[in-house]
Amino acid sequence: MSNRDQKKDIQRLKERIRYLEEIHRLIWDALETAAFLGDFQTSISNLHDTSAILREIRMRVQSLIPFRTTAFFLVNEANSEFLLADCQAESSSPFIQDEIDFLINNGTFAWVLREKRSVIVSSKNYQKRLVLHVMTTSSRIRGMFVGVLAHGEMDIPHISLSLLSIVMLNSANALESFELYSMIRKNNVNLEKTVQERTEQIAYQVKLENLIATISTTFINLAPTEIDRGINRALKSIGEFICADHGYVFLLSEDGTSVDSAHEWRAEGIEPQTSKCKGLALKDFPLLAEKIGNSENLHIPCVAELPVEIKADNNLLQLQGIKSIIVVPLVSAKSVIGLLGFYSVGEKQSWSDDMVALFKIVGEMFVNALERKRAEEEKKEMQTRLLRAQKMEAVGTLAGGIAHNFNNILAVLQGNAQLISMDLDPTNPHYELAKEIEKQTKIGASLTRQLLGFAQGDVYEVGPINLNELVKETSTTFGRTKKEITIHLKLQEDLPFVKSDIGQIEQVLINLYINAGHAMPSGGNLCLETRTIGHEGVQNTPFRMKPGNYVLLSVTDTGVGIDKETQERIFEPFFTTRQIGQGTGLGLATVYGIIKAHKGYIEVESEKGRGTTFKLYFPASPASEKEVANPVKVPEEVIKGTETILLVDDEEPVLRVGAKVLNKLGYTVLEAKSGHEAVEIYKSNKNKIALVILDMIMPGMGGGKVYDLLKAINPEAKVLLCSGYSIDGQAKEILDRGCNGFLQKPFDVKNLSGKIRAAMETE
C-alpha cells in the first residue's frame, strides 16, 4: 500500500473517530440527563434487535405519558421514506398511517422534523390529539414517534414533554448505536481516553443540571414564609459548587437606584457584607451601574486588572479582598429588581458560559419566588384589611341600630321635659328640673349623633365646598389653641370642589387635628396636603375604590405613632387609648362614618415613634358644580299653627308625646301606629290633613312605601320625614322623591315647629 493510500486511510479513520466521539458524547449526555428513567440506556444498549428496542422505548414513554396508542415510523435508508415499523395496538395501524399521510401532505410532518421537539396536533376529525417527536441524532433523522390521546383527555406537563425529548434522543442514539455497535467496539481502545474525558465533562454537566433541578424543586414546594431561607440555602449550594467564597442577592429600592435588602451566604472565615452594602447607591459604582442599567452581566475574572479610571468599583472590590466576581441582574417585567452575585477571595476565577447560564436560571427562580412571597404577603394584608372593613361594617350596623332606638327614648324624654317646662312658670322649682332633663337629653342626643356619624355619617346639608378654604380656616383656628404645633400647608391650586356637608367635614378635620394634638403633647409638625388623584393611582388599600377622580387630603403628624394592633381598631366606636374620662372613643369612629357617608375612603399609615398619616379620599365634583347649599336655620321662637297633622310612628311612647307637643303648638293631631293605619286614615281625611309627620323605620310597611302610597292618593300631599337615623341612605332616597323635609329624633319644640312650617310652606 502506497503512502498516499495510507494517509487517506488514516484521514478516514480520524474522521470516523471524530464522528464516533460525537456519537459517544450524545449517548452519554442523553444517558446522564435522563437519569430519572433508571437503566433505560443500559437496557436498550444491551438489546440487539430493533423491535426489542422499540418495545423498551414504548414502556418508558408510557411511564411518562399514558398514550392510548403509540407508533414508530423509521427511515428507510434506501429511499429516505418513513415506514410504520411498530404500532400498539395493531388495530390502530390504519388510523395512524392515514393521519401521518395527511400530515405529510399538508406540510405538518416536515415542520415537525425541523422543530426537533414535541409537537401536539389534532387529528383530521379533531377527536384526538397526536403528539409527534422526531427521533434524531446529531448526524441524521432515524424516525418519528407518534402518541395518541383523546381530545381533552389530559394536559401534558411541560416536564413530561421535556423528558419525552430526552427519551427520543436516547432512542435515536440507541438505534444508531445498534447499527454502529461493531464499529464502536473495534475503535473502543483508541477512544477510551477520549471517552473518559467526555465522561468527566458529562458528569460535571449532570451535577450542574442536578443542582438546578434540586434548587428548582425546592422552590416549587417552598412555602412563602420559607423563601428567604430557601434563597440562602441555594446560595450556599451554588457557592460551594463553583468554589466561590461569597454569594449574595441584593434587592434594589423601588426606583432601582440603591440596595434595599439582601440575602447572603459566605464561606467559613468570610465576613458578612449585607449590612455594609445596604443603602449603597448604584450611581457611585459606574461600571456596575452601566452593566445593570443595560441588564447585562458583570464578569470580572481578575479585579487587579480593572482599569485605573474605574476607581469606585476598583476600590470597593479590592478593599474587600475580592479577586474575581460575577454579578447577574435579576429582572422582573423588564425591570432590574436586584442583583445575584458571587465572588472569590482565595484565587482568581473565570466562570464559564455554563456557570453564567446557571446564575441566570437560578436568578429567575429567585425572582419568581420573591414575587410569590410578595404576592402572598399582599394577599394576607388585603385579607386582613378586608376582615377589618367587614368588622367595621358590622359594628356600624349595630351602632346605627342602637343609636336609632336610643333616639326614640330620648325623643320621649325630651318631649315630656319640654311639655313640663312649657306649662311651668320659670319661678317654679320644678322648672329648673325639667330644663336639666332637657339639657341631659341633648347631651345624650349628641352621643347618638356621633354613633350615627360612625354608622352612617350624619349628612344633612350637602353642596360643593372648597376643601382648601376649609382646611385653611380650621387649621388656623386649631393653631391658635396649639401654638406649640407648627402647621404646614401644601394645597393644590385649582383643587376640584367636593360635594359634602360642610359642617360634617369641618367636624372631621377638627377631630383629626385634636387626635394629632394628643399625639404631640410636647409639640411637633402638622402637615396638611391636598391634591387630585385618580383611582388607578391608589394601591394596596383596604377598600376597592370606585373609578373616577378624587380629592386626597393627607393629615400627617410627627407624633408618637400608632402600633399595628391599635391601627386595626382605631375606627371602632368607644375604642380609645386615652385614660378614662379623657375621651369617648367616638372621634375617629365619627370621622370614619362621615367619610364613608360621603362616598369617600379613609386609611391610616403609621409606625410607632414615626408619626401618623390619615389619608382621606373625597369624590371630586364636576367643575360646573360650585353652588354651595344654604343651611336651614333653626327658628329663634316657637312657631304655632292650627292645621291638622297626621302623626305616624310605631313606637307608642313617641307617638303619645309627639301628639301632646303638637297639640301644645295648636295643631289638631291624628295618630297612626303603623304604615297601613296611616294610609287608611289619610284616605278618609286627605282634604283636611295639611301635613303628615312620617316615621321612616316601621315594621310591616316602612316610611318609603307609605310615602309612595300617600302620593298616589294625593300628589299634593306634604310629608315631613322623621327618624332616629340620619338623613343619609334610605331617608335620602325618600327626600329625593319629593318629600318636604327631614326631622331627626330627638328634636326640640323650636326645631319641630320650624320644620313643620317650612314643610307646609313648600310648593
Q: Tell me: the pLDDT tens digits for 522-564?
A: 888 999 999 998 877 776 666 677 788 899 999 998 888 877 7
CATH number of 34-186: 3.30.450.40
Helix (H) or strand (E) holding 709: helix 703-713
**Residue 623 banded pLDDT, cuts 50, 70, 90:** low
Domain with CATH 3.40.50.2300 in the chain: 644-761
The residue whose grid cell reads 480593572 is 306
Top-confidence range, 365-369, 626-630, 687-691, 754-758: 687-691
- pLDDT tens-digit readout, 699-757: 888 888 888 898 888 988 888 988 766 555 566 778 778 788 888 777 777 778 888 88
Burial of 569 (0-12, 13-18, 19+ CB in 10 A): middle
Average pLDDT, integer, range 469-474 = 88
CATH of range 462-619; options 3.40.50.300, 3.30.565.10, 3.30.300.30, 3.40.50.2300: 3.30.565.10
DSSP secondary-structure letter at 258?
Answer: B
Q: What's the CATH class of domain 229-351?
A: alpha beta
State pLDDT tens for residues 115-157: 888 999 998 888 899 999 999 988 889 999 999 987 777 778 8
- Average pLDDT (566-578) is 57
- Count of beta carbons in the 10 Å neighbourhood of residue 319: 8
Cα(685)–Cα(674) distance, rounded to whole angstroms? 16
Q: What is the pLDDT of residue 28?
A: 58
Amino acid identity, position 359: F
Identity of the residue numbered 419 = L
Map grid coordinates 449532570 to a residue.
206
Q: For CATH 3.30.565.10, list the domain ranges present in the chain.
A: 462-619
d(CA 631, CA 167): 84
Range(s) within the chain of domains with CATH label 3.30.450.40: 34-186, 229-351
CA-closest candidate to residue 749, choices 440, 417, 426: 417
Q: What is the pLDDT of residues 194-248, one digit of tens each?
A: 767 778 778 877 887 888 888 888 777 778 788 888 888 888 888 888 888 888 8
pLDDT for 530 equals 92
pLDDT in tens, 404-463: 566 667 666 666 666 676 667 777 776 677 667 666 666 565 556 555 554 454 445 567
Which residues are 720's β-sheet partners?
693
Average pLDDT score over residue span 392-400: 57
Cβ-proximal residues to 633 (8 Å cutoff; 6+ apart), any chain: 754
Residues ≥6 apart with Cβ < 8 Å to 525: 485, 486, 487, 488, 557, 558
Q: Grid coordinates standing for 698?
A: 316601621
CATH code of the domain occupying 644-761: 3.40.50.2300
Q: What is the pLDDT of residue 1?
A: 59
Say what the pLDDT of residue 100 is: 92
> CA-CA distances (angstroms) from residue 396 to 147, 156, 207, 386, 586?
63, 52, 62, 15, 12
What are the tens digits of pLDDT across the range 603-614?
A: 888 888 788 888
Q: For residue 380, what pLDDT is reported?
A: 74
What pLDDT, on the 0 to 100 scale, is given for residue 408? 64
How many Cβ atoms from other residues are within 10 Å of residue 637's Cβ? 8
